[in-house]
């Protein structure tokens, strides 16, 4: 069987739901109980698709202490050797088709995201007076490396990074999202993933989201503030996936539970949008259900 089968199908869901909930970004314990003694066919051996929907609770904008519910549709899979992984309001493609049983796996391909931070649903009335922002359409690349069978035959340790640039004239900048994740089955029907990720952005990005200019200060009463390039956040999330028929290998219906925390850093923490009206501590949770075939 493919040792990557649940890592591809479930850890990517953690990235998507957790990052969407936090407004920042994110990515992939005990050994499995009773794994099959011999290789067997799985739904992930060839072309496969997972379709799902999740619901989460997270800050209304990056730095907010007001929380809102949000939907998180998920599409992921592998078709004609091209992997499809969800991103918050976007996706990434992997054009490297690793051979089954490879000691190290690589991923590389385009990455896309729509960023809606402070473009709508601003719950804080003072921040709302500063005005809504435009949605950013980000395009870039995603790359990663993973080591399967690290502590047991079915786990994996992964390192990855997304680099994207706004092509719609909103923030007009660049954002980097590195991450490391560990995935392991807990038994035949359950799996877990622990992820740690960060966000770094350039001057244009941080100025757009975290600067309070003279006009925004006059409209809202917030102090003026100038933001520069730097790390914006570091966070972690824990995922638990449960296959509803007790077998992760055959597809079908699965449920996903996620909890996470991120800490804002630098100008993302010090901006009045956070320091005066919100919190640098960002919590999130999500539940999802999907069907794999």
Question: How far apart are alpha carbons 23 and 68 in whole angstroms?
Answer: 11
Domain ranges of the chain: 5-292
pLDDT at 112: 98
Q: Which residues contact 152 (CB under 8 A, 6 or more apart)?
A: 31, 32, 35, 184, 185
Beta bridge partners of 70: 56
How far, in Å, CA of 179 to CA of 151, rounded? 20
Cβ contacts of 48 within 8 Å, gap of 6 or more: 9, 77, 78, 251, 292, 293
The residue that leads in pLDDT, 16 or 195, is 195
pLDDT for residue 56 is more than 60? yes
* Mean pLDDT value across residues 257-268: 98
- Mean pLDDT for the stretch of residues 275-280: 99
- Which superfamily does 5-292 belong to? monomeric porin ompg (2.40.160.40)
Q: Across all residues in the chain, what is the average pLDDT?
A: 89
Give me the pLDDT at residue 74, please: 83
Residue-level pLDDT at 40 = 67
- Please give the pLDDT value at position 41: 81
User: Measured between alpha carbons, how far is 147 from 169 in angstroms, rounded to an integer?
Assistant: 38
Q: What is the pLDDT of residue 25?
A: 33
Give the residue-averaged pLDDT of 59-63.
Answer: 98
| pLDDT tens sequence across 6-51 | 444 444 444 444 444 333 333 333 333 333 344 568 898 889 999 9
For tokens 């719609």, name the residue.
168
Angle at 115 between CA 121 and CA 59, to 5 degrees: 45
Please report the pLDDT score of residue 173 as a whole number.
Answer: 99
Q: How confident is the model at residue 88 (pLDDT cuts 50, 70, 90)?
A: confident
Give the rounded distance of the alpha carbon of 59 from its chain centre: 15
Query: Using CA atoms in the order 24, 29, 35, 39, what is the torsion angle rounded to 10 degrees?
Result: 60
Check residue 6 and give its pLDDT. 40
Percentage of the chain beyond pLDDT 90 is 79
User: 3-class DSSP state for residue 224?
Assistant: coil
Q: pTM for the whole thing?
A: 0.87
Pairwise CA distance, residues 123 & 284, whole Å: 16
Phi and psi at residue 282, in whole multiples of 5°? Answer: -120, 120
Q: Which residue has the higher pLDDT, 5 or 161?
A: 161
Encode 150-175: b = buried (16+ Cβ within 10 Å), e = exposed: eeeebbbbbebbbbbbbeeebbebbb
């Amino acid at each position: 069987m493919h040792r990557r089968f649940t890592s591809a199908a479930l850890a990517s869901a953690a990235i998507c739901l957790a990052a969407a909930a936090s407004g920042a970004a994110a990515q992939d314990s005990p050994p499995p109980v009773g794994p099959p003694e011999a290789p067997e066919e799985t739904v992930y051996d060839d072309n496969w698709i997972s379709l799902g929907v999740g619901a989460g609770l997270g800050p209304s904008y990056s730095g907010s202490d007001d929380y809102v519910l949000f939907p998180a549709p998920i599409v992921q899979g592998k078709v004609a050797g091209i992997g499809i992984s969800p991103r918050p309001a976007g996706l990434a493609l992997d054009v490297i088709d690793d051979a089954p049983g490879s000691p190290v796996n690589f991923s590389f391909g385009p990455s896309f995201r729509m960023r809606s931070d402070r473009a709508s649903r601003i719950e804080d009335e003072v921040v709302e007076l500063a005005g809504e922002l435009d949605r950013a359409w980000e395009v870039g690349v995603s790359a990663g490396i993973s080591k399967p069978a690290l502590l047991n035959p079915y786990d994996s340790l992964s390192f990855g990074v997304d680099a994207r640039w706004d092509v719609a004239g909103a923030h007009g900048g660049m954002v980097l999202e590195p991450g490391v994740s560990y995935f392991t089955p807990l038994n035949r029907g359950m799996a877990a993933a622990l992820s740690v990720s960060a966000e770094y952005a350039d001057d244009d990005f941080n100025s757009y989201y975290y600067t309070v200019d003279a006009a925004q200060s006059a409209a809202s009463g917030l102090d003026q503030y100038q933001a520069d390039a730097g790390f914006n956040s570091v966070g972690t999330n824990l995922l638990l996936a449960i296959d509803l028929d007790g077998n992760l290998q055959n597809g079908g219906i699965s449920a996903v539970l996620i909890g996470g925390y991120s800490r804002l850093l630098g100008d993302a923490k010090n901006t009045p949008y956070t320091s005066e009206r919100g919190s640098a501590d960002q919590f999130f949770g999500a539940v999802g259900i999907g069907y794999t075939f």
